[in-house]
Amino acid sequence: MALYNETVMEHFMNPHNVGEIENPDGKGTYGSPVCGDMMQITIKVDEEEKIVDAKFKTFGCGSAIASSSMATDMIIGMSVEEALDLSNKKIVDELGGLPPAKIHCSVLAEHAIKSAIYDYATKYGKTYAGLEGFDPDAEEDHHHDDIEEE
Amino acid sequence: MKQIYLDYSATTPVKEDVVKEMIPYYTEVYGNPSSLYSVGLEAKQGLELARERVAKLINAQPAEIRFTSCGTEADNWVLEGVADALKNKGNHIITSKIEHHAILHTCEHLEKNGFEVTYLDVDSEGFVSPEALEAAIKDTTILVSIMMVNNEIGTIQPIKELAAVAKAHGVLFHTDAVQALGNVPIDVKDLGVDFISMSAHKIYGPKGVGALYIRKGARINNYMHGGGQEARKRAGTENMAGIVGFGKAAELSMNNLDAHIEHCSTLRNKLWEKIQAEIPHVQVNGSMDKRHPGNLNVSFDYIEGEAILLLLDAHGICVSTGSACSSGSLAPSQVLEALGVPVTKMNGTIRFTVGDFTTDEDIDNVVEVLSKVVARLREMSPVTGKEGW
């Protein structure tokens, strides 16, 4: 018996893409240890605006680490546009589901990715529809309320 | 993979000798102890023996022990029952900020029904001070309820001093001794308390049975209404096998108390020494002086508790984050909050409790795995080594 399903446990026990890219094209952090979880994502983007590498460092529970691992897996090979379209729901689906109280971990991953892309866009003077209205420094929502579940 | 269970404060395995005494009460001595034929009378005899054994463990009279379905029921009963009995005398209850939810949530319920509750602060090691209690007592105070041993940090309260303060003001005093029973010597005569909550499954007895000690003459109304069981104080057909198991567990605990305390504190101290020697950036929460002999509550900087728990579980090691009742909820521990532990550290807190079946080798194995687990999670954490993370 385990707290999470097999996919989540596998990504937690043997997470992919752990670490930090040196001289990344984009770096994003979301959450804080005070809230119980914090995720940092670094990305490498090529000339075709494709994410060729992504790494994460996460302070958090099993599902936060699994969400980081899955989310970075998913965005590697995606175009920046595609990665901006990645919703927390798609991360949850790919993980085969998370307990309701842990859905916020996937939200954290979605925001951390957007923050990393925001950093990349700022650095390279790019604009994306998917970043419209996005504020990387926005106060973290009360993400423990499960409101993002849908 | 060998399982190493270090969560004895959550529950304990039932000892073989306890199970052996329980079994006949399911199959042979199945009578209702209220029945007047022999198989009923035989059950009644088993019930009274259990009562004597539980009474002996706390130096009470058997008639002062009333069995309940669990420790939580005993806590609910004492708060609701005293509030009801003394509502014409006053509506003020005093407790502490670090009580078990069975007390805190019952107090919140009473507040909704017109009672006033004072939640006393604790110091950085979790102690309630007799002076603070003295200052909180009013003319309307009818009950003081302070736990004997905290379930998360293991702090042993100065119950005798606290009870004396209440007594000097003619106020009834209750202590939730669910974690204390079988882990610290309890003598009701010496402590001078009026009510004590107890539970069987923390002392190698079965789940689903507890007891409330009611000092002879202490005023309390009934909580469970119905038949005339338990001298008309607690209705409901007795959980016979459970009660018999509680009695046997109490007897074993009584005979084994000194050895148990010695065994647990030795292993617990070794666990803490090894953790300190092998893992940097850790802190113990609570007092190392007046502490439950098996309890160790440690905060690991830069990482989160559930991740530690899951990785230890993958190695067959069972521990808990905060208390078992709050795992699964995301709210930080109100106990650590009351101690003033920073929220960042709270999130990385693990409670270990050793018990009778823990071995010296277990401690070596746990620390070996733990140091790897902590190092691995710290490698993964974006805040590792950062000032003021």
Contact A98, A106 (CB under 8 A): yes
In tens, the pLDDT along B205-256 reads 999 999 999 999 999 999 999 999 999 999 999 999 999 999 999 999 999 9
> Do B381 and A58 count as a contact with CB atoms less than 8 A apart?
yes
Contact B378, B282 (CB under 8 A): no
Q: What is the pLDDT of residue B377?
A: 98
**The CATH number, out of the four listed (3.10.110.10, 3.40.640.10, 3.80.10.10, 3.10.350.10), of the domain defined by the range B16-252:** 3.40.640.10
ipTM score: 0.91
Question: Has residue A144 got a pLDDT over 60?
Answer: no
CB proximity under 8 Å: A 70-129 to B: 101
Active-site residue identified among A9, A16, A29, A35: A35
In angstroms, the CA B85 to CA B80 distance is: 9
Contact A39, A55 (CB under 8 A): no
A29 touches chain B (CB under 8 A): yes
> Do A12 and B307 count as a contact with CB atoms less than 8 A apart?
yes
- Chain B residues contacting A via beta carbons under 8 Å: 302-307, 310-311, 313-314, 328-330, 332, 343-344, 347, 379-383, 389
Q: Tell me which chain A residues have a C-beta less than 8 angstroms from the C-beta of B372.
A: none
A34 touches chain B (CB under 8 A): yes
Contact B163, B192 (CB under 8 A): yes
Report the candidate in B353, B267, B272, B359 with the shortest Cα–Cα distance to residue B318: B353
Q: Check if A61 is active-site.
A: no
In angstroms, the CA B199 to CA B190 distance is: 21
- Which candidate from A13, A37, A64 shows the least CB-CB separation from B314? A13
Q: Tell me which chain B residues have a C-beta less than 8 angstroms from the C-beta of A101.
A: 328-330
E strand or H helix that includes residue B198 = strand B195-199
- Rounded to an integer, the average pLDDT of B181-185 is 98
What's the CA angle centered on B287, arms B286 and B293, to 5 degrees?
100
**The CATH number, out of the four listed (3.90.1150.10, 3.40.50.300, 3.40.1160.10, 3.40.50.2000), of the domain defined by the range B4-11+257-380:** 3.90.1150.10
Domains and CATH numbers, chain A: 6-124 (3.90.1010.10)
In tens, the pLDDT along A99-125 reads 998 999 999 999 999 999 999 999 999
Active-site residue identified among A65, A98, A105, A107: A105
In tens, the pLDDT along B77-99 reads 999 999 999 999 999 999 999 99
Q: pLDDT category, A150, cuts 50, 70, 90? A: very low
For chain B, the domains span 4-11+257-380, 16-252
In angstroms, the CA A131 to CA A121 distance is: 9
CA distance A97 to chain B (A): 16
Q: How many CB pairs under 8 A join A and B?
A: 58
> Do B344 and A33 count as a contact with CB atoms less than 8 A apart?
yes
In angstroms, the CA B280 to CA B270 distance is: 16
Lowest mean pLDDT among B17-26, B259-268, B327-336: B327-336
Q: What is the pLDDT of residue A2?
A: 85
Q: What is the pLDDT of residue A142?
A: 46
Interface test with B, best of A59, A65, A68 (most B CBs within 10 A): A59
A58 touches chain B (CB under 8 A): yes
In tens, the pLDDT along A44-91 reads 999 999 999 999 999 999 999 999 999 999 999 999 999 999 999 999
In tens, the pLDDT along B252-276 reads 999 999 999 999 999 999 999 999 9
Q: What is the pLDDT of residue A70?
A: 98
CA distance B240 to chain A (A): 32
- Rounded to an integer, the average pLDDT of B322-344 is 74
- Which candidate from A12, A33, A57 shows the least CB-CB separation from B347? A33
Q: What is the pLDDT of residue A148?
A: 37
Q: Give percent of chain B above pLDDT 90.
A: 95
Q: What is the pLDDT of residue B78?
A: 98
Per the prediction, chain B carries an average pLDDT of 96
Q: What is the pLDDT of residue B15?
A: 98
CA-to-CA dists, residue B289 to B92, B154, B336, angstroms: 32, 10, 18
- Rounded to an integer, the average pLDDT of A9-13 is 97
E strand or H helix that includes residue B380 = helix B360-380
- Rounded to an integer, the average pLDDT of A121-137 is 94
Q: Please spell the DSSP secondary structure of B111-174, one letter per residue.
A: HHTT-EEEEE---TT-PPPHHHHHHH--TTEEEEE--SB-TTT-BBP-HHHHHHHHHHTT-EEE
Question: Has residue B122 got a pLDDT over 90?
Answer: yes
Q: What is the pLDDT of residue A139?
A: 65
In angstroms, the CA A145 to CA A60 distance is: 17
Among all residues of chain A, which has the CA nearest to that of B304?
A60
In angstroms, the CA A76 to CA A64 distance is: 18
- Which candidate from A2, A39, A101 shows the least CB-CB separation from B330? A101
- Rounded to an integer, the average pLDDT of B16-29 is 98
- Which candidate from B310, B329, B380 shows the least CB-CB separation from A3? B310
CA-to-CA dists, residue B166 to A26, A138, B86, B122, B197, angstroms: 63, 51, 15, 17, 18
Question: Has residue B121 got a pLDDT over 60?
Answer: yes
- Which candidate from B307, B313, B382 shows the least CB-CB separation from A29? B382
In tens, the pLDDT along B349-370 reads 999 999 999 999 999 999 999 9
Report the candidate in B128, B335, B127, B332 with the shortest Cα–Cα distance to residue B118: B128
The two three-digit tokens of residue B21, written as one number: 């005494």
> Do A13 and B311 count as a contact with CB atoms less than 8 A apart?
yes
Question: Has residue B389 got a pLDDT over 90?
Answer: no
Interface test with A, best of B308, B310, B313, B387 (most A CBs within 10 A): B310
Q: Tell me which chain B residues have a C-beta less than 8 angstroms from the C-beta of A36.
A: 304, 330, 332, 347
Interface test with A, best of B315, B343, B350, B381 (most A CBs within 10 A): B381
Q: Tell me which chain A residues have a C-beta less than 8 angstroms from the C-beta of B311.
A: 13
CA distance A9 to chain B (A): 9
